[in-house]
Structure 1
Amino acid sequence: MPAPPIHCSRQRLAARILSLTADTEVLPTAIPHVTLFRRPGPVAPQAVVYEPSLAIIAQGKKRTLVGNETYIHDDAHFLLTSIDLPTIAEVLDASRGAPYLSILLKLDLQAVRELMAEIDTLEVDPTPQGTGLAIGPSTEALFEDAVRLLELLDTPQDIPILGRLILRGIFYRVLTSPAGARLRQIIHTGTQSHRIAKAVNWLRENYLQPLRVEELAAVANMGVSTLHHHFRSLTAMSPLQYQKQLRLHEARRLMLSEELNVKAAAIRVGYESTTQFGREYRRQFGAPPLADIKALRSKDTA
């Protein structure tokens, strides 16, 4: 009995990613904002700030936590991220014989807005569910589009024109699916989701400053209680928790990339107490700052 068409499409995508990542686990491609991943084994939970993007898994399984919400995505389900979100992510299912393989497409929000102008004429469910992360079914058409996109790497001269067309088709499929409801709401000016997205963007740009909720509510053009309700709905955390996670991620980057010591990194991201910083850092990343950075550096040199 022949394999279902979707299985064949998924296998073609997996084979393509495996071939392209033969010498690396992370491959930024010549197609703008498209990155490939191969993991030869499970990856322990890691704190990562997700940007607006679409992740399609060709092989394997991954778990992503946002606040207290858990999302499982695999070779049958894509993950759509609509706003910047601090997360904890881990690869659950991977081995040398069957590595985790995925393609990540960072969203061009301007292109999405232009596409939305046409989608608005269609009858699609406008009601968002859940946070700024959404799980949707990976279809045969989605896998085929992803394969066609990666085939452009064989003809780089075609990427500027055909790449945009294929990406437009991929985003169309995702936006018109139930999983695309939250992203559509964020794109639509005037919706609660759009206003909270403005507050999230403001926090990302000003997270080093003391948080004044009234000021953040003014950015979103809503009352403080309404801000708290919708902010938690979209991010699964309060504005203060969101800011704290951004600060801890930045401190980790400063210690790892710029070799700042613990005290200097804590002060740089707005902590007055090194003890409090160490306590919250350990809660977030699972180890004290010095031990965590040492472990990360040993991985890089392994």
Structure 2
Amino acid sequence: MEHRLNELRRLAAGAANRRTETGIPRVAMVQGAIPEHQLAAVYDPMINLILTGSKSMTVGARTLHYDPATYFVMSVELPAVGQVHPAASGEPYLAVSLTLDAAVLAPLLADLPEPAFGRRADSGFSVAAVTPELMDAWVRMLRLMHEPNDIAALAPAYEREILYRVLQGPHGAMLRDIASPDSALARVQRAIAWIRQDFASPLRIEALAGKVAMSASSFHRHFKAVTALSPLQYQKRVRLMQARQLLVAQGANVTTAAFEVGYESATQFSREYARMFGMAPGRDAARIAARVRAA
């Protein structure tokens, strides 16, 4: 597979030190060192393939590592902390991603027999070994960056092929459940959308469970299985990540940021912020700002 990987690296060589749109719908690239605070974020559902270097993703208490021999799938929006590393040879980190869209998956699922998908998903994120067939599909997709006139006609077919190859592997159950409205994963995804939309308000588990037609105990169990977090832990991480953005990007003070994201006590906010990010919010914001200025 090395020659396929080398071609993908050549095709993606123009990526910048940040997320770079390719001109192909839902396909993006990133290269080089990424600012630490940008790697702690709520990530969209995606397939992520590393071409050079390696990455780790921590969600709750789970940390997954992957490199060019593996790929990562996240099937729901998750607050995660990432770390990227250059290759042992010193080459910068380089990766491509495909954002998952249930509207694209659903017609593909309708064309495939259900036994191809395997059992129901028991998690919303995982890592699997990359296959030659999946690599080939990515090569065809990224070649379109140099043939923009072909994107409208061919990108949908190549996207279907990438999704099909993933459906055939260990992540197949996750992809199926994204587009299955009655699956536990899809119900958790709807609950996540409500939490993110109104993250600053108090979270009432029974009311949220009722919105997705689940009992409170079943909802809590499935939510934690999919996200590795309880609903309250999920909300807390969304609040803290949003507060970090207010502190760094908008220069908000600690008290303002705390109240803006739903905390009633700046002291409690500071304590939980330090537990998540390793230092008090004011010091963390100043450290990040200094690194941005020095970059």
Alignment TM-score, normalising by the size of structure 2: 0.92
Distance, in Å, in 1 between the alignment partners of 2:18 and 2:80 is 21
CA RMSD of aligned residues (A): 2.2
* Structure 2 partner of 1:76: 69
Answer yes or no: is the 8 Å Cα contact 1:119–1:176 preserved in 2: no
Out of 244, 262, 273, the position equivalent to 1:270 is 262
| Pairwise CA distance, 1:45 | 9.9
- The residue type equivalent to 2:206 in the other structure is E
Report the CA distance shift for 1:294/1:160 in structure 2 as closer, same or farther (over 3 A). farther
* Structure 1 partner of 2:7: 12
Distance, in Å, in 2 between the alignment partners of 1:40 and 1:13 is 19
Q: Deviations over 1:2-24 (max 9, x none)?
A: xxxx111112112222x212x54
* Structure 2 partner of 1:39: 32
| Pairwise CA distance, 1:40 | 5.5
Report the CA distance shift for 1:16/1:266 in structure 2 as closer, same or farther (over 3 A). same
Answer yes or no: is the 8 Å Cα contact 2:56–2:64 preserved in 1: yes
Answer yes or no: is the 8 Å Cα contact 1:41–1:96 preserved in 2: no
Distance, in Å, in 1 between the alignment partners of 2:33 and 2:117 is 39
Secondary structure of the equivalent of 1:83?
coil
- Shifted more, 44-53 versus 291-300: the winner is 44-53
Out of 266, 279, 282, the position equivalent to 1:287 is 279
Distance, in Å, in 1 between the alignment partners of 2:161 and 2:98 is 13
2:40 is the alignment partner of 1:62: no
* Structure 2 partner of 1:296: 288
Percent same amino acid among aligned pairs?
A: 36
| Pairwise CA distance, 1:258 | 2.4
Unpaired segments ≥5 residues, structure 1: 1-5
Out of 97, 102, 118, the position equivalent to 2:95 is 102
* Structure 2 partner of 1:3: none
* Structure 2 partner of 1:48: 41
Report the CA distance shift for 1:237/1:24 in structure 2 as closer, same or farther (over 3 A). closer
Distance, in Å, in 2 between the alignment partners of 1:190 and 1:41 is 37
| Pairwise CA distance, 1:101 | 1.3
Distance, in Å, in 2 between the alignment partners of 1:146 and 1:191 is 29
* Structure 1 partner of 2:192: 200
| Pairwise CA distance, 1:55 | 0.2
Answer yes or no: is the 8 Å Cα contact 2:118–2:172 preserved in 1: no
Answer yes or no: is the 8 Å Cα contact 2:271–2:280 preserved in 1: yes
Distance, in Å, in 1 between the alignment partners of 2:17 and 2:61 is 33
1:1-302 maps to which residues of 2 (within 5 A)?
6-17=1-12, 19-21=13-15, 24-39=17-32, 46-94=39-87, 97-121=90-114, 123-129=116-122, 131-301=123-293, 302=295
Answer yes or no: is the 8 Å Cα contact 2:85–2:92 preserved in 1: no
Distance, in Å, in 1 between the alignment partners of 2:18 and 2:261 is 31
| Pairwise CA distance, 1:54 | 0.6
Distance, in Å, in 1 between the alignment partners of 2:19 and 2:87 is 15
Distance, in Å, in 1 between the alignment partners of 2:237 and 2:33 is 29
- The residue type equivalent to 1:14 in the other structure is R
Answer yes or no: is the 8 Å Cα contact 1:271–1:277 preserved in 2: yes
Q: Deviations over 1:153-200 (max 9, x none)?
A: 112121122112111111111122221212312321222222222212
Answer yes or no: is the 8 Å Cα contact 1:255–1:293 preserved in 2: yes
Answer yes or no: is the 8 Å Cα contact 1:41–1:94 preserved in 2: no
Unpaired segments ≥5 residues, structure 2: none
| Pairwise CA distance, 1:124 | 2.8
Answer yes or no: is the 8 Å Cα contact 2:141–2:158 preserved in 1: yes
Count of residue pairs the alignment pairs up: 294
Answer yes or no: is the 8 Å Cα contact 1:43–1:91 preserved in 2: no
Distance, in Å, in 1 between the alignment partners of 2:171 and 2:116 is 15
